[in-house]
Amino acid sequence: MRRIEVTCILCPVGCRLTVTEEDGEWKVEGYGCRRGLAYGLEEAQNPSRVLITVIPVDDGELPVVPVKTSKPIPKNLLLKASKALAGLRVKAPVRLGQVIARNLLDLDVNIVATRSIKARRDRVEADGQK
């Protein structure tokens, strides 16, 4: 038998759910309403999250661009995915929504920019100092 503890986050009550599985039979206990039942099953069977991180930018007005996965990915792969992205770089300009990497860890998700980063002008000159 497998037994998984899940905290329901769908409302502030925060029921502590116990999800058990025996021979393919799933059971949820401790929910305060029906929504918790579905949530408990999902979190036990297929917990997933959107990964949020940044990617270094070359020649940008700023040195990094924030990104996210186009879909939630399995929770236990978040750290691995973050490591897999280390080493990736992108050249400015970057537009909001631009796909920066495809098919991360063969999960069929893309890495998408969540901010636009302009290419660098020489700020020092632009300010007329120097």
Which residues contact ligand SF4 (rule: CB under 6 A)?
Answer: 8, 10-11, 13-15, 31-33, 35-36
Using CB under 8 A, pick the residue from 29, 42, 52, 103 that binds other proteins.
Answer: 52
Task: Compute the least distance from the CB of residue 99 to ligand SF4, in Å.
Answer: 35
Using CB under 8 A, pick the residue from 30, 107, 114, 120 that binds other proteins.
Answer: 114
For β-strands 90-91 and 52-58, DSSP reports them as parallel
Task: Compute the least distance from the CB of residue 68 to other proteins, in Å.
Answer: 6
Whole-number Cα distances in Å, 57 to 120, 124, 126: 10, 19, 21
User: Which residues are within 8 A (CB) of 92 and not within 5 positions of it... i.e. 6 or more apart?
Assistant: 57, 58, 59, 60, 61, 117, 118, 119, 120
Residue number with CB closer to ligand SF4 (32 or 56) = 32
